[in-house]
Chains A and B, each alone.
Chain A
Amino acid sequence: MENVKIIEIKKSVFENNDRAADELRGELKNRGVFLLNLMSSPGSGKTTTLIQTINRLKDKIRIAVMEADIDSDVDAIKIKEATGVESIQLHTGGMCHLDAEMTKQGLNNVSMEQADLVILENVGNLVCPAEFDTGAVKNAMILSVPEGHDKPLKYPLMFSICDVVVINKIDVLPYFDFDMEKCKEYIHMRNPKATVIPICAKTGEGVDVFAEWLLNEVSEWKR
């Protein structure tokens, strides 16, 4: 006759990752490297925003970029060509997000001693990346005008973990029913501390504000 034994575990699936992320943040602090985790939907303009931002900052601080995608290396090549900064491509092998362990492995391929700021461009997705702490110092997300101002209501977790929300493509505001004030209100309902920065990565409008925010965060971290 077969009997069974029950072993109680009672453990969140995210617990190990949260611990690994805290360890990685500690290591980054010791080495004086600021890691930004940049998230958004596919097509919101992450790569264009990055290029604009990096070109404003690259003479002031040393920057490296890690591009995470399910496949291809078009983003890493685009960043390198447009900015000249070190840019590496990570493949998630079908996974919809990066976790702390994958981020750490990615960082091993970056010249960390030559970087003040490493930007991780996460997989385009508003659900999964929000659940996995990458070990980044700050989380940023880009919401673009065509996606609609109601996204903070639909993806509450993403908006609640972000330190800064960049609202991109404000040049097309006249063509969409996007209510900027409502959007800010919804973001602050989820996350009263979030900084909201409207920009247009294509024309460069507002990018200075985001670059300034990032520069301040980096010098704060390295202090």
Chain B
Amino acid sequence: MHELGIVFYIIRDVKKAAQEHGVEHVSAVVMNIGEVSTIVPEYLTDCWRWAADKEELLRGCELKIEPIPAVTHCDGCGKEYPTVAHGKICPHCGSEKTWLLRGNEVEIKEIVVPQSC
């Protein structure tokens, strides 16, 4: 359910971008999805298939996902570490004063448009 809502947002933004660029068909949409963004990539692509095929502009259009690994920064020792493996507590110094550096992205990176030549 969550992913379907996100898919509607992606479709709206892609349609807008396509209109601005005078594009009639999009063959792929590339997403940057952070590892801890709460998006399940498989659900997102499933929902995408269902919703995108209802749109003339996006019929058969593929949703490609480029994952962004989550990285946490520790204020205690200044080091960085992989979030998923270690969570909130810094594996280097044991501090709890940590914050997410990246990995929360839900971003449309680019769209791919076929060109006949």
Contacts and interface: CB of A to CB of B under 8 A. Distances in A.
B6 A13 contact: yes
B23 interface: yes
Contacts of A94: 1, 4
Given A9-B13, A9-B109, A10-B107, A3 B117 contact: yes
For the residues of B in contact with A, the DSSP-based class is: mixed
Contacts, number: 83
A112 B113 CA distance: 45
Contact of B107 (A4, A7, A13, A132): A13
A96 B9 CA distance: 13
Given A9-B13, A11-B107, A4 B112 contact: yes
A192 to B, nearest CB: 11
Q: Place the interface of chain B in its size category.
A: 20 to 34
A11 B117 CA distance: 29
Given A2-B116, A157-B38, A7 B110 contact: yes
Interface residues of A, number: 27
A4 B113 contact: yes
For the residues of A in contact with B, the DSSP-based class is: mixed
A9 B1 contact: no
Given A9-B17, A94-B1, A4 B27 contact: yes
Interface of B: 1-2, 4-6, 8-10, 12-14, 17, 21, 23, 27, 38, 88, 96, 105-117
Interface of A: 1-14, 16-17, 94-97, 127-128, 131-132, 153, 157, 189
